[in-house]
Amino acid sequence: MHPTFSIVFFTTASGAGFALLLLIGVGVPLALLPDDAGFGAAALLVAAVLIAGGLVSSAFHLGRPERAWRAFSQWRSSWLSREGALSVLTFVPAVIFAFGWLAFGATGGFAGLCGFLAAAGAVASVYCTGMIYASLKPIRQWHNPWVVPNYFALGLMSGFLVLDLILRFWVVRPVGIGLLSLAAVLVAWWIKESYWRSIDAGTAASTVASATGLGRRGAVRMLERPHTEENYLLTEMGFRIARKHRRRLRNIARLAAFLVPVVAVLVALVWGGGAGRIAAAVAVLSAALGLVVERWLFFAEARHTVTLYYGADQV
Amino acid sequence: MTDLPASPPGRKQLGLVIDLDICVGCHACATACKEWNSGGHMAPLTDFHPYGGDPQGVWFNRIHSFEEGDGEGARTVHFPRSCLHCAEPACVTVCPTGASYKRAEDGIVLVNEAICIGCKLCSWACPYGAREFDADVGVMKKCTLCIDRIYNDNLAVEERLPACVMVCPTHARHFGDLGDPNSAVSEMVARRGGLDLMPELGYRPVNKYLPPRLDRMAPAPGPAEPPAAPDPAEGNRLLRWIDRLLSR
Amino acid sequence: MTFGERWRDYWSPREVIDTSPKVSDEVKYTTCYMCACRCGIKVHLKNGGIRYIEGNPNHPVNRGVICGKGASGIMQQQSPAKLQKPLLRVGERGAGEFREIEWDEAIDTAIAWLSRIRDDDPRKLAFFTGRDQSQSLTGFWATQFGTPNFAAHGGFCSVNMAAAGMYTLGSSFWEFGEPDWERTRLFLMFGVAEDHDSNPIKTALSGLRSRGAKFVSINPVRTGYSAIADEWIGIRPGTDGLFVLSLIHELLRADKVDLDYLGHYTNAAWLVIQSPGAANDGLFLRGADGNPLVLDGNGALASALEPGAAARIVGEAMLEGGGRAVPVFQLIAERYLDPAYAPEAVAATCGVPAETIRRLAAEIAETAFAHEIEVPVPWVDWAGRRHETMRGRPVSVHAMRGISAHSNGFQTCRALHLLQILLGTIDVPGGWRYKSPHPKPCPPGPRPAGRADQVAAGRPLGGAPLGYPMGPEDLIVDADGNPQRIDKAFSWDAPLAAHGLMHLLIRNAWAADPYPIDTLFMYMANMAWNSAMNTAETIRMLTDKDPATGEYKIPRIIYSDAYYSEMVGYSDLILPDTTYLERWDCISLLDRPIGGVDGPADSIRQPVIAVDRDVRPFQDVLIDLAVRLRLPAFVTTDGSPRFPGGYKDYIALHERRPGVGPLAGWRGEAGADHGRGAPNPRQLQRYVENGCFWKYELPPEQRYYKHANKAYLEGAVSMGLIDNAEPIVLQLYVEPLQRFRLAAQGHGPVRPPPASAARIEAYFDPLPFWYEPFEGARIDPHEFPLHAITQRPMQMYHSWHSQNAWLRQILGRNRLFVGRAVGRRLGLQDDDWVWVSSHAGRIPAQVKLMDGVNPDTVWTWNAIGKRAGAWNLAADAPEFTKGFLLNHLITDLLPEGGPPAANADPVTGQAAWYDLRVRLEKAPDADAGAGKPHLPALRHPPSFAALPEVLRYGAPRR
Ligand SMILES: Nc1nc2c(c(=O)[nH]1)N[C@H]1C(S)=C(S)[C@@H](COP(=O)(O)OP(=O)(O)OC[C@H]3O[C@@H](n4cnc5c(=O)[nH]c(N)nc54)[C@H](O)[C@@H]3O)O[C@H]1N2
Ligand SMILES: Nc1nc2c(c(=O)[nH]1)N[C@H]1C(S)=C(S)[C@@H](COP(=O)(O)OP(=O)(O)OC[C@H]3O[C@@H](n4cnc5c(=O)[nH]c(N)nc54)[C@H](O)[C@@H]3O)O[C@H]1N2
Ligand code: SF4
Ligand code: SF4
Ligand code: SF4
Ligand code: SF4
Ligand code: SF4
Ligand SMILES: [Mo]
């Protein structure tokens, strides 16, 4: 599948933003996080920018962005519609929660409830994002049980890293969040490796033989394509990445998304203060880079069944 | 609307039956489709860089070719590919706007251009590559089963067929109600062992493909060898013909 | 909409579809010309443009279907390469620099060039036409002008098939006959990819499969039609003759020939003189009346044309004065029973296992003799005998350029006809049938004109320039045996060149051999590109100048094209034509009509849309030129135009012979006559009313055995199709060939020059034989181990269709298809680049591996590679950057290693495109496309508009 930057950015950014919202929405009412208005303003702003930025970015991918408002209507069947609807709906409790907290300093009661609701919306939104991909049967690498956990874990990990960084401007050495961040990164790493192992091992049920109904005489091989140059199907769904690039990019993702953040988080746990902030910032930046690579790969490694008509014998 | 219409057995399901045994891969159905639909319900079928380095455009029907098997029994097979108007089309259910829909009355899967947002998700959901995006207008397009021909009162009754069916010089394409087990197309499918493409994905395509006949490759029954002349000497062989009289 | 409706519509949108849109404002019928199949089409017009083109369901050719090209006619009309205005070259040839001129200037320029030639020596005009369908006009024009230097493209196309058929059957494969599609049970197709009968063949093949008849394709490549064959025989190119003669060997051995048919309808029993060294050796033994003789049942001589002679097919007649004569059949049996033709002996050469040959022979025998058909229709043969049924043997054959485009194609095609005749399958139920206006006498009528005594300044030629020689005295040579035509047709180089030799035209004109010409006038032939053998060399000759004068060696080139083809770039004066949708045309019985097996038919084109550029139908221009040159048939006695309305008037009013004109339908003042009749001024109107075609159905008793069917032959005479009702005797043994051979042996007044004698003697065998194609025999097979051939893609017509926005998306570049085994040996993978080398040079090509190809063969789609700048395509078009033209490797002359000779069949001069031998080497750089033969991009005429980036055809018409 062709990795479109707007979609890569959208899923990584909104994943981080929703996770951040989840953490604040749960952590602040439960007083696990400081209720400092400055912290609130910063954290909520970052979450809002990540979520909204992602959503706006995703609209760039649309052929008719001015009609994007129509995308909320088919929530009964469409994960994309559900995701759209939920991410917008999530703003309602999130805004009330933010208003209550920032304007009135209220983090419990109704505001706290709204925090919980926003957190639930965030979880649901990320679930929908994952399901958009996981529900697509023609793409084996997406129609995979690790995809939704993957979206959750990577989102949560990036949310923790961002939260850890922000928190460090109010708390010198947030050990708890630091440890949780560490755990989130390690869990995400494990899930990602499991995903990779799963797609590397599996083979699809669909083959060129099942795609054409042929094969009774023996192996089926493509002889000619219907067109000698490109077309929409090939640019959108025929994208292929060479094996050696794939290996290299996976290593970059491992390094930047997981290894560097792990080290940086450990450093931040030990040092705190300015150095801690720098280390946390390194963790965030490195993870951002790594997750963009990871998300790019998530698309680039995915093979659509339409390629069976264009020379692939398996997907 | 995104909800799929119920499809109880016997419900009208219009579609195509494509005979891979006799398709010669001439592309007539592809260009006739392009031609009709260029001015039809989903018009235009835009072309990009039509005279340039990377010419490409929107087509609803494309002709591939494959080789099947090795050695004696092998064959080359031409393979037309268009929307299969599936009974369980995820292309419809994934659509966030309701632009993609399956008609209850005849099972045709369509895109409502007026509300499509061009999110392309339906094209990802279609295993068969039957949807093509028109980047010029930013919406998804696809085979309409020639909905503007098959019910068209301005056409003679015998012309109310999809353009690709009308044109096919080998008559490898047939149109009809595959929901009706007694229709001509259903009977043809039953007789010839018509197939679903990628049945494992569960889309339950309405269009069927008739596989190349296997029985046809065998040599016609005949003597393994012409009865050899009893005497191989050439002179005698000529003698055999000498007294045959042929009156002109 | 109310808010409630909007609300509902948001959640459950519903689309309202107009399922009955108006299709068109107007429908006009005409004839397609996206290729030469001549299908009838219905053009739907809407809001002043073309909405849709579809097949005419009533049309006898296509019965409603059209092909991929035909359905893309809309885009041909949209082409940005359409010429806009007459052009006069200003830069060097090949640069593409032109001045746009007015028609007056164009016509005046042409007249200035042409009238001088006509007044001086008409031979200095060479007028050659390509894939047009108006040869009855262009040939007539040339005759009127007085030049023998006229031909159309048949010489490089399929004259091997035409000549072999005309001398054997009085018709030919090509589009002049077809299998009895409804009744045949076993159909053998040799070397056909698409052919002219594109749609009818497709429809018929699918009919065969549905009916359970067996279809065998003999072809080195398994694509297209071969893909759906019951059996594919991947023969080695150029070896079909041997393969077929081996089938004949097997049939003779098993006594599976139709002796009855041979006796009644062929020259099997005719006696052939056997007196080696004598001047009459190998000729038919003839009686005093000149009729051939046979041995009757008592062993006495009898006239072969006398009904009732009980003739023997083997035996011997001793001649007075020594020598003997034996029946043709005996010669056939003696020759082909030779073990040299046994399946085992030919298998390795043909690349076909001996068992396959033997089995196929058995299947042929079984089908022909165990499944005889009888159609219960009584008929009367030429001798007056009544037959209660029409008997047939359901084996049929079709063949085209896989046979003809080899230097042994004439004899190979003869071998195929021999097979058909021995089985008794010519024009019988289930066999191969003549299409009207055939059969003709074999060979038909007029001999070619063009000898010195037939050419005179200011006068028409003393006959038509093309015809069928019966012997050396009909050649167009001078007293020393030198060629007298610029293409050397009908010379000792190519005695039976019935269609001329267009592929040698440019070389000979350049070399002033046999004489210099002044003006080359061409129409609809892309001779600077895909119909050139050795494209780069041809371009060099077109642009070569005489160092003494600084003049081009070919001084003047006038060309008519409708589009900006490669050839336009090499021409001096361009007369831009309309497209096929903008003009009148006629598909005439005098040329290549649409007649079918059940009767004659012809058709027309009418303008269906108005011309929007400053272009004129070429035929109108040609008639205009004729009037200004005062060519007698085109002016009345007072010098005024005989056809003031141009071609349209000519079609309706011209008479070639009394009562016979271009169109056979609705003749006579009242439009009541068919075939023969006075011209009818309202004839075209009647055609238009009938969907632009005319068709006559023969009564059932005339539909088979036409060559010997009394009612048919008499009917054909009254229709004007043939001149007399004599039977057409199928010629197993072709006596005219022997006449050439005797001349080569030193007999008769007209003899070949010594250098040609051996060649004539070797190849003018009156019975078919096989020899290794010339190029393969001359090159080192280790150096060039592979055969390289082309195939026509079904959806592209030669070079025309790269300008078509839809078709070029399907095939915008061609790859070289290579057998998987060869690929493995050379370490090749799909899309790798290779160098393809022949004895003439090398070109880069991108590879696709496949299985269904003869292991010694590589192939590609024909005419996809283009010259940069041609066809008004952008500079980065894949046709230039990635596509390639095999013609760069094919030469018009044979490689060294023997006497200099054309790369052509020695009998007919047919270009031997498919004799090409090559070697492949993996190209080290990933994209070797840049290594093509370098030709600078053609520039464009000034009036070409900028190319659109996006095409939204149909959008405004909704
Ligand atoms: N779509 C389309 N139709 C066309 C044309 C076109 O350009 N496009 N061109 C028209 C013209 S001008 C012509 S002349 C006709 C030609 O019509 P075809 O004869 O059908 O044309 P080719 O493509 O030359 O096909 C030659 C076939 O012979 C095979 N072949 C080559 N060498 C041998 C051999 O030695 N033995 C055997 N048995 N087979 C061999 C090739 O693989 C190929 O399949 O088509 C006409 N119709
Ligand atoms: N390698 C290889 N070479 C081959 C062959 C092969 O099989 N292999 N086949 C050979 C054969 S059989 C043939 S017939 C030739 C064909 O070769 P050409 O006759 O050279 O081929 P076309 O591309 O048909 O070119 C005809 C020209 O007619 C022009 N034209 C089209 N429509 C019109 C019109 O309405 N009016 C006018 N005035 N011009 C028009 C086109 O623009 C084009 O320039 O190629 C030969 N060359
Ligand atoms: S073929 Fe594809 S586009 Fe057509 S109905 Fe099925 S899933 Fe949808
Ligand atoms: S591209 Fe259009 S039709 Fe397809 S899913 Fe998106 S909105 Fe629906
Ligand atoms: S049914 Fe109509 S739209 Fe669909 S492929 Fe055929 S011609 Fe095209
Ligand atoms: S028109 Fe018929 S024969 Fe030609 S590609 Fe289409 S289905 Fe095949
Ligand atoms: S075969 Fe195709 S291009 Fe040729 S005349 Fe017929 S419809 Fe036109
Ligand atoms: Mo040709």
Q: Compute the half-sphere exposure of residue A138: CA atoms within 13 Å on the CB side of its CA.
A: 28
Q: Is residue A268 part of a domain?
A: yes
Contact across the interface for A232 and B81, Cβ inside 8 Å? no
pLDDT more than 70, % of chain C: 99
Same domain (yes/no): A106, A207? no
Q: Is residue A130 part of a domain?
A: yes
Closest CA to B192 of A222, A213, C185, A210: A213
Residues of chain A neighbouring C810 (CB-CB closer than 8 A): 226-228
Q: Which residue, chain included where needed, has tokens 């996006």?
A: C950
Contact across the interface for A229 and C11, Cβ inside 8 Å? no
Q: Which of A73, A228, A311 sits opposite C811 (nearest CB)?
A: A228
**C35 C-alpha vs ligand 2 centroid, how far in Å?**
10
Q: How far apart, in Å, are the Cα atoms of C487 and each of C153, C482, C491, C507, C517?
A: 12, 12, 9, 9, 11
Q: Which one of B19, B22, B23, B31 would you mutate to disrupt binding with C, by most C Cβ within 10 Å of its Cβ?
A: B31
The boundaries of every CATH 2.20.25.90 domain in chain C are 26-66
Q: Which CATH number fits domain C775-922: 3.90.1560.10, 1.10.357.10, 2.40.50.140, 2.40.40.20?
A: 2.40.40.20
pLDDT class of B219 with cuts at 50, 70, 90: low
**B25 at interface of C, judged by CB pairs closer than 8 A:** yes
Q: Where are the domains of chain B?
A: 14-217
Chain A neighbours (≥3 Cβ pairs under 8 A) are B, C
Distance from C-alpha of C189 to C-alpha of C200, rounded to nearest angstrom: 14
**C12 at interface of B, judged by CB pairs closer than 8 A:** yes
The mean pLDDT of C208-236, rounded to a whole number, is 96
Q: Which one of B2, B29, B51 would you mutate to disrupt binding with C, by most C Cβ within 10 Å of its Cβ?
A: B51
The mean pLDDT of B51-64, rounded to a whole number, is 97
Closest CA to A119 of A47, A34, A203: A47
Q: Is the CB of B63 under 6 A from ligand 4?
A: no
Q: Is the CB of C235 under 6 A from ligand 1?
A: yes
**C724 at interface of B, judged by CB pairs closer than 8 A:** no
Chain segment C337-350, per-residue pLDDT in tens: 999 999 999 999 99
pLDDT at B216 over 60: no
Chain segment B175-211, per-residue pLDDT in tens: 999 999 999 999 999 999 999 999 999 999 999 999 9
The mean pLDDT of C128-147, rounded to a whole number, is 93
Same domain (yes/no): A249, A305? yes
H or E element in which residue B57 lies: strand B56-57
Distance from C-alpha of A45 to C-alpha of A31, rounded to nearest angstrom: 19
**C809 at interface of A, judged by CB pairs closer than 8 A:** yes
Q: Which of A70, A223, A228 sits opposite C850 (nearest CB)?
A: A223
Q: How far apart, in Å, are the Cα atoms of B114 and each of B41, B139, B186, B220, C15?
A: 12, 9, 34, 57, 9
pLDDT at A103 over 70: yes
Q: Is residue A220 part of a domain?
A: no
Residue C298: what pLDDT? 86
Distance from C-alpha of C437 to C-alpha of C429, rounded to nearest angstrom: 19
The residue from A135, A157, A183 where one domain ends is A135
pLDDT class of C85 with cuts at 50, 70, 90: very high
**A182 C-alpha vs ligand 8 centroid, how far in Å?**
75
Q: Is the CB of B117 under 6 A from ligand 4?
A: yes
pTM of the predicted structure, to 2 decimals? 0.97
Residue B221: what pLDDT? 53
Please say whether the beta carbons of C523 and C618 come within 8 A. Answer: yes
Residue C958: what pLDDT? 42
**B78 at interface of C, judged by CB pairs closer than 8 A:** yes
Distance from C-alpha of C896 to C-alpha of C56, rounded to nearest angstrom: 52
Residue C407: what pLDDT? 98
Q: Lowest mean pLDDT of A102-111, C72-81, C710-719, C745-754, name the range.
A: A102-111
Q: Which CATH superfamily is domain C26-66 in?
A: ADC-like domains (2.20.25.90)
B/e letters for C487-502, b = 16+ CB within 10 Å, e = fewer, are: bbbbbbbbbbbbbbbb
Q: Which CATH number fits domain B14-217: 3.40.50.11540, 3.30.420.130, 3.40.1190.20, 3.30.70.20?
A: 3.30.70.20
Residue B2: what pLDDT? 59
H or E element in which residue C46 lies: strand C40-46
Contact across the interface for C809 and A227, Cβ inside 8 Å? yes
pLDDT class of C445 with cuts at 50, 70, 90: confident
pLDDT at B229 over 60: no
pLDDT more than 90, % of chain C: 93
Residue B233: what pLDDT? 62
B/e letters for A195-223, b = 16+ CB within 10 Å, e = fewer, are: bbeebeeeebebbbbbbbbbbebbbbbbb
Residue C928: what pLDDT? 67
Chain segment A167-216, per-residue pLDDT in tens: 999 988 899 999 999 999 999 999 999 999 999 998 888 999 999 999 99
Contact across the interface for B43 and C954, Cβ inside 8 Å? yes
* CA distance, residue A92 to nearest chain B CA (Å): 21
The mean pLDDT of C24-46, rounded to a whole number, is 96
Q: Is residue A149 part of a domain?
A: no
Q: Which of C223, C810, C850 sits opposite A227 (nearest CB)?
A: C810
Same domain (yes/no): A100, A18? yes
Q: Lowest mean pLDDT of A173-177, C813-817, C933-937, name the range.
A: C933-937
The mean pLDDT of C683-707, rounded to a whole number, is 97
Interface confidence (ipTM) of the complex: 0.96
Handedness of CA A184, A187, A193, A196 (dihedral sign): negative
Same domain (yes/no): A193, A104? no
pLDDT class of B72 with cuts at 50, 70, 90: confident
The mean pLDDT of C671-697, rounded to a whole number, is 96
Domain with A200 in it: 174-214+231-315
Residue A273: what pLDDT? 86
- Structural Rg of chain C based on CA atoms: 28
Q: Which of A64, A78, A224 sits opposite B116 (nearest CB)?
A: A64
Ligand 1 atom with the smallest distance to the CA of C237 is 35
Q: Which of residues 160-199 of C touch A (CB under 8 A)?
A: none
Chain segment C509-566, per-residue pLDDT in tens: 999 999 999 999 999 999 999 999 999 999 999 999 999 999 999 999 999 999 999 9
The mean pLDDT of C841-865, rounded to a whole number, is 97
Contact across the interface for C955 and B50, Cβ inside 8 Å? no
Residue C957: what pLDDT? 45
* CA distance, residue B96 to nearest chain A CA (Å): 4
Ligand lying nearest the CA atom of residue C570: 2
Ligand lying nearest the CA atom of residue C533: 2
pLDDT at C104 over 90: yes
The residue from A106, A135, A164 where one domain ends is A135
Closest CA to C160 of C419, C464, C532, C497: C497
Ligand lying nearest the CA atom of residue C526: 2
Q: Which of residues 615-644 of C touch B (CB under 8 A)?
A: none
Q: Which of residues 15-74 of B touch A (CB under 8 A)?
A: 20, 27, 30, 54-59, 62-70, 73-74
Q: Is residue A164 part of a domain?
A: no
Residues of chain C neighbouring A228 (CB-CB closer than 8 A): 809-813, 878
Average pLDDT over chain C, rounded to whole?
A: 95
Number of structural domains found in chain A: 2
Residues of chain B neighbouring C795 (CB-CB closer than 8 A): 26-28, 31
**B116 at interface of A, judged by CB pairs closer than 8 A:** yes
Q: How far apart, in Å, are the Cα atoms of A111 and each of A24, A104, A158, C710, C840?
A: 12, 10, 25, 107, 87
Contacts of C808 (CB under 8 A, 6+ apart): B50, B51, B55, C801, C802, C879
Ligand 3 binding residues, C-beta < 6 A: B 83-86, 89, 91, 109, 126, 128, 130-131, 142, 203
Contact across the interface for C10 and A70, Cβ inside 8 Å? yes
pLDDT at C45 over 80: yes
Q: Residues A4-7: contacts with CB within 8 Å, 24+ apart?
A: A4/A61, A4/A299, A6/A57, A6/A58, A6/A60, A6/A61, A7/A58, A7/A61, A7/A299
pLDDT at C612 over 80: yes
In order, the DSSP letters of A99-139 are: HHHHHH---SHHHHHHHHHHHHHHHHHHHHHHHHHHT-TTB
Alpha helices in C443-534 (DSSP H): 502-511
Chain segment A276-287, per-residue pLDDT in tens: 999 999 999 999
Nearest CA to ligand 1 atom 13: C195
Q: Which of C11, C812, C848 sits opposite A73 (nearest CB)?
A: C11
Ligand 4 atom with the smallest distance to the CA of B119 is 6
Ligand 1 pocket mutation pick from C194, C787, C791 by most atoms within 8 angstroms of CB:
C194
**C31 C-alpha vs ligand 7 centroid, how far in Å?**
9
Chain segment A252-269, per-residue pLDDT in tens: 999 999 999 999 999 999
Contact across the interface for C259 and B246, Cβ inside 8 Å? yes
Contact across the interface for B96 and A73, Cβ inside 8 Å? yes
Q: Which of C18, C206, C852 sits opposite B76 (nearest CB)?
A: C852
Chain segment C89-99, per-residue pLDDT in tens: 999 999 999 99
Q: Is residue A257 part of a domain?
A: yes
**B240 at interface of C, judged by CB pairs closer than 8 A:** yes
